[in-house]
Amino acid sequence: MDAAPDDWQSILYLLKHPDVTVIGIGVSCGVSYVDTGVTNTLGILEHLGINDIPVASGKEIPLVVDHAFPLPWREASHNFYGLDLPTTTLTSSLLNASDLIISLVESTEGNITLIALGPLTNVAIALDTEPSIESKIDEILLMGGSIDVPGNVGLESAIPNYVAEWNLWVDPHAADIVFRSGLPIRMVPLDATNQVPQTQAFLDRLGAVMSTTEARLLYNMTTVGLYFWDQLTVVTLTNPEVVTFEEHCIEIVVDLENHEGMTNSTDVGCANALVGVSADASLFEDLFIGYINDDLPTTSTPTGATTDLPIDPLLLIVVRGLPT
């Protein structure tokens, strides 16, 4: 992860969910500088009283291209987005992020789900370095791409790329490696996340009920006008019905000028990903607020939600930051 509010909010959800165990966090090149992202993530964990989840620094630059998020976004992340948390006393993992992935996958009993909420650099390096870990990865769940809606790179910057989403644009070669790996992939693109905006109504609803430390952090990190990119993605881990998925054969454009990172859905070849095409915003908000605010584990499941969770008990997160 490159450690911005949507990543941290996603981690809050996963940490609060009773059926998920987070076993590690890796920070990739993205919105935040890697070292800053690690420090800020450790600060969040320490604020929550958590000191047993390793957090590792990943590669600071993409595999091939010279792509990066705009400098003002990175500086905002460097300054912790104005959140006032004490300086952390926790230290990062001695392993880099890709080696941490390999180590945790190899040492964990049973299989894991790998969540990637940012550029796929660290994941690609891990798969390339130690292909044998693929047998213990049940699924890669990622936020990224766009299919039938425009990309968002060119909408918020001077970069003339209107077909790619930020995460996959930053490191298209890494994305290409991951999508060619043959691993089961579930992709939550802009097609779905565009349907779950951060609204004043959501903020008002949260403010009226928040009672946990995590809920208060969520309130302070929510920015009206943005979207729940990574947050929607992690909720699909526990409640896949919040997003409608379809099978697609996804190819990543790596070398066409102003199209790098484009997710091209093609009829050539077999389907290699389940792709989210729409989202239930109301159900998402019920689940997201409910678990972070400790309302759902002891109450009835919201209408439309699934009670049997088809997920693994262990989870490795590789996250990034805002905005996707």
pLDDT band at 299 (very low <50, low <70, confident <90, very high): very low
Does residue 324 fall inside a structural domain?
no
- Exposed, middle or buried by CB within 10 Å (0-12, 13-18, 19+), for 148? exposed
Contact 284, 228 (CB under 8 A): yes
pLDDT over 70 percentage in the chain: 86
* 151-186 per-position pLDDT tens digit: 999 987 789 999 999 999 999 999 999 999 999 999
* 9-44 per-position pLDDT tens digit: 999 999 999 989 999 999 988 777 888 889 888 999
Average pLDDT (229-236) is 97
Longest CA–CA span in the chain (Å) reads: 52
CA gap 233, 221 in Å, rounded: 17
CA gap 152, 33 in Å, rounded: 21
The helix (run of H) or strand (run of E) holding residue 188 is: strand 185-188
pLDDT at 300: 42
pLDDT over 90 percentage in the chain: 71
Average pLDDT (115-122) is 94
CA gap 139, 310 in Å, rounded: 12
Model pTM score: 0.91
pLDDT at 78: 58
pLDDT at 1: 56
110 pLDDT more than 50 = yes
CA gap 236, 114 in Å, rounded: 13
Q: Is 235 helix (H, G, I), strand (E, B) or coil?
A: helix
Does residue 132 fall inside a structural domain?
yes
Does residue 276 fall inside a structural domain?
yes
Strands 314-319, 250-252: pairing kind: unpaired
Which residue range(s) make up the domain with 248? 5-319
Question: Looking at the 3D structure of the chain, how many domains does it have?
Answer: 1
pLDDT at 72: 64
Does residue 195 fall inside a structural domain?
yes
Number of residues that this document lists for the chain: 324
Does residue 135 fall inside a structural domain?
yes
Query: Is the model more confident about 45 or about 308?
Result: 45
pLDDT at 309: 38
Does residue 129 fall inside a structural domain?
yes
* 179-225 per-position pLDDT tens digit: 999 999 999 999 999 999 999 999 999 999 999 999 999 999 899 99
Does residue 262 fall inside a structural domain?
yes
Cis omega (within 30 of 0) for bond into 184: no
- In 10 A of CB 86, how many CB atoms? 8
CATH of the domain at 312: 3.90.245.10
Mean pLDDT rounded to a whole number for the chain: 88
